[in-house]
Amino acid sequence: MKKRTFKDNIYSGIAGMTKAFSSPNRLEIIDLLANGEKTVEQIAVQTAITVANASQHLQVLKTSRLVKSRREGTFIWYSLNGVNAFAAWKALRDLALELEPAVQATLRQFRQEMGSPGSVHYNNHPANEQILFLDVRPTDEFAAGHLPDARSIPVGELSERLTELPRDKTIIAYCRGPFCTYADEAVQLLRANGFQALRLEESYLDLKIDHN
């Protein structure tokens, strides 16, 4: 094989895979699947697209080997194809947070409107007796992996379960990462009810990768 052919084949193969990242819907699906496997119906609901559209995006991701699937009865479950698939998305996400003004401005405006502009990082708030980490994702995502000693209360149940939370601790809510709104909703609700609450910037998988 000639050197030029070698380079052309290598970079063409990589470029072909990166096309899967060129759709906003597919990026959101990757971000969602990082928290646990989902059916196409669940993905459609959580990304606000049709089942047919979600299925098409999943096929692109599967063809690019970023997503894998398994069948259970009449359902097909999709998940990320290894931790490196998430790492690639995380690198792209973090680059956008660093360099893309539109992403920075949108995130800043949303956080201010939700009353959670002061997000914190895990390394600056290690677990101690004065802090409670609250996982506000769905219970199946909590079961798939969560921070040590975190308590699970899905955001949709939080208003009915406030009595389960201590008022003498700072509650740090977390969800699927910087673009997930569950933690912002939780902080807004908690503060409205007199709790000391902050938003954690990272997701469980962010921290798992960073500490490996």
Q: Point out the residues that are catalytic.
A: 175
3-state SS, the chain, equals CCHHHHHHHHHHHHHHHHHHHHCHHHHHHHHHHCCCCEEHHHHHHHHCCCHHHHHHHHHHHHHCCCEEEEEECCEEEEEECCHHHHHHHHHHHHHHHHHCHHHHHHHHHHHHHHCCCCCECHHHCCCCCCEEEEECCCHHHHHHCCCCCCEECCHHHHHHCHHHCCCCCEEEEECCCCCCCHHHHHHHHHHHCCCEEEEECCCHHHHHHHCC
**Tokens 């401005």 belong to residue:** 105
Q: Give the Cα separation of 26 and 55 in Å (integer).
A: 11
